[in-house]
């Protein structure tokens, strides 16, 4: 956690080992690519931190600010290191869940039906055959700040959503609104999101995304190739201005024993929008860290480090999922250039 801590970084060889391990630990192509992506992403973050660290050392950032930055970098580095090791252990451990074991919306025995065709035992099943509670779907949260209370900006992230419900939530000051993709029926797009105004801050909205966009809109809103250009991707602010997309925080399973341990290993992702290749993300904002962004924790993550760096307030968070399934939104890897961004692979 401090700048003077022993260097626990895995060597590049170790990272490669993690990669190899991830590969060998999968027989399903989906899991394969997901794990590839996880390792790739982690390695990329690590590399970024290394570069930053080197840059700081070279420029000799002065005194207090520099010290603080170094501490922050050190903390980030350690977190990523541990995350990589976790990724390794997840797929390499004998008892690690095998590919295909996590629940899969696509693989549900009840899938293939239509809304009308939902059987009587699960009347509330949606078009994918999922019952009303979509516990098994990948989900992740973001926080969006608006300029005024009147703003409905959080509802407009570039995708077309239809509101299908609203619910008062116990203990919450404001009701939670439920949205699903407008093209749910026409294109069988099962993405949905929940929007809730934060209790303490009426300008802040917690947005939880569920499932993946598979609609054509997703394709048209795929991330620009900013990975090459270095540009920051932002969801299209088609509506009211002043939206400030904070972060994507994958919401992992909260009741898995493994999670408890992993929660002690904070890390943050530097991922691209996962909408590409019909994966989750649904146009959700990416988690690159633009200057001035504020990363905040989801309910299931444990803040580890909060530091103030000029223009950047970062709260490193961790999240996980015992079976990695909930990370599908960010791990699927149909995009080949995803790998190209890694120096390790």
Partner DNA sequence: TGTATTTGACCTAC
Partner DNA sequence: GTAGGTCAAATACA
Strands (E), 198-298: 204-210, 244-245, 249-250
- Regarding 111 and contact with DNA (CB under 7 A), the answer is no
Do the bridges between strand 312-316 and strand 249-250 make them parallel or antiparallel, or are there none, so unpaired? unpaired
Residue 109 makes contact with DNA by CB under 7 A: no
Across the strands, what pairs with 161?
Answer: 181
Is residue 180 within the footprint of DNA (CB under 7 A)? yes
Q: By CB under 7 A, is residue 182 in contact with DNA?
A: yes
* 70 versus 213: smaller Cβ distance to DNA: 213
- Report the nearest approach of DNA to the CB of residue 247 (Å): 20
Q: Is residue 126 close enough to count as binding DNA by CB under 7 A? A: yes
CA distances from 303 to 45, 79, 121, 296 (A): 18, 12, 41, 8
- Which residue stretch of 20-28, 102-110, 125-133, 261-269 sits at the interface with DNA (rule: CB under 7 A)? 125-133
Does residue number 150 form part of the binding site for DNA (CB under 7 A)?
no
Q: Give the residue among 254, 159, 171, 255 at the shortest CA–CA distance from 207.
A: 159
- Token readout for 251 is 């919401």
Q: Which residue in the set 24, 163, 219, 309 belongs to the binding site for DNA (CB under 7 A)?
A: 163
Member of 166, 187, 188, 232 binding DNA (CB under 7 A): 166
Residue 6: both structure tokens together: 């022993």
- By C-beta, is 83 or 196 nearer to DNA? 196
As a whole number of angstroms, the distance between CA 193 and CA 136 comes to 15
163 versus 173: smaller Cβ distance to DNA: 163
Listed residue (195, 287, 297) closest to 248, CA to CA: 287
Q: Binding to DNA by residue 89, rule CB under 7 A?
A: no
The Cα 68–Cα 313 span in angstroms is 12
- Please say which residue, 57 or 124, places its beta carbon nearer to DNA: 124
CA atoms in the 13 A half-sphere facing the CB of 70: 17
Give the residue, chosen from 63, 94, 123, 150, that forms a contact with DNA under the rule CB under 7 A: 123
Question: Is 198 a residue that touches DNA (CB under 7 A)?
Answer: no
At closest approach, how far in Å is the CB of 172 from DNA? 7
Q: Which of the ranges 34-42, 47-55, 163-171, 325-333 carries the binding residues for DNA, by CB under 7 A? A: 163-171
Determine, following the binding rule CB under 7 A, whether residue 195 of this chain makes contact with DNA: no
Q: Which tokens in the block code for residue 105?
A: 């919306």
> Counting contacts by CB under 7 A, is residue 133 touching DNA?
yes
Cβ atoms of 208 and 140 within 8 Å: the answer is yes
Burial of 209 (0-12, 13-18, 19+ CB in 10 A): buried
Stretch that binds DNA, among 9-17, 26-34, 155-163, 336-344 (CB under 7 A): 155-163
The pattern of x and - marking residues 229 through 248 that bind DNA according to CB under 7 A reads --------------------
Phi, psi of 308 (to 5 degrees): -105, 115
- C-alpha distances in Å from residue 189, one per residue of 13, 30, 103, 280, 287: 41, 19, 18, 11, 23
Q: How far is the CB of 190 from DNA (least distance, A)?
A: 9
Binding site for DNA (CB under 7 A): 115, 121-126, 131-135, 160-172, 176-178, 180, 182, 192, 194, 210
């Amino acid at each position: 956690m401090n700048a003077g801590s022993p260097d626990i970084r895995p060597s590049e060889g170790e990272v490669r080992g993690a990669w190899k391990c991830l590969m060998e630990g999968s027989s399903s192509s989906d899991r394969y690519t997901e794990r590839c992506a996880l390792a790739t992403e982690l390695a990329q973050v690590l590399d970024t931190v290394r570069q930053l660290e080197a840059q700081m050392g070279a420029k000799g950032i002065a005194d207090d600010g520099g010290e603080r930055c170094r501490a922050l970098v050190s903390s980030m580095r350690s977190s990523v290191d541990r995350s990589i090791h976790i990724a390794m252990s997840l797929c390499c451990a004998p008892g690690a869940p095998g590919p295909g074991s996590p629940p899969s919306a696509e693989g549900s025995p009840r899938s293939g039906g239509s809304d009308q065709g939902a059987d009587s035992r699960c009347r509330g099943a949606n078009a994918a055959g999922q019952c009303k509670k979509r516990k098994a779907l990948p989900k992740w949260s973001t926080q969006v700040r608006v300029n005024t209370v009147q703003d409905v900006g959080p509802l407009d992230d570039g995708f077309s959503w239809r509101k299908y419900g609203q619910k008062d939530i116990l203990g919450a000051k404001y009701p939670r609104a439920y949205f699903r993709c407008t093209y749910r029926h026409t294109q069988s797009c099962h993405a949905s999101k929940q929007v809730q105004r934060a209790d303490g801050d009426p300008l802040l909205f917690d947005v939880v995304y569920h499932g993946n966009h598979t609609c054509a809109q997703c394709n048209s809103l795929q991330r620009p190739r900013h990975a090459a250009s270095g540009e920051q991707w932002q969801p299209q602010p088609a509506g009211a201005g002043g939206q400030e997309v904070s972060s994507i925080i994958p919401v992992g399973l909260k009741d898995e024993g493994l999670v408890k341990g992993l929660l002690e290993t904070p890390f943050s992702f530097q991922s691209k929008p996962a909408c590409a290749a019909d994966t989750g993300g649904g146009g959700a904002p990416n988690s690159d860290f633009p200057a001035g962004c504020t990363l905040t924790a989801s309910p299931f993550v444990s803040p580890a480090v909060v530091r103030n760096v000029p223009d950047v307030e970062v709260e490193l968070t961790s999240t996980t999922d015992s079976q990695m399934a909930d990370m599908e939104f960010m791990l699927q890897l149909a995009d080949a250039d995803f790998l190209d961004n890694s120096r390790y692979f």
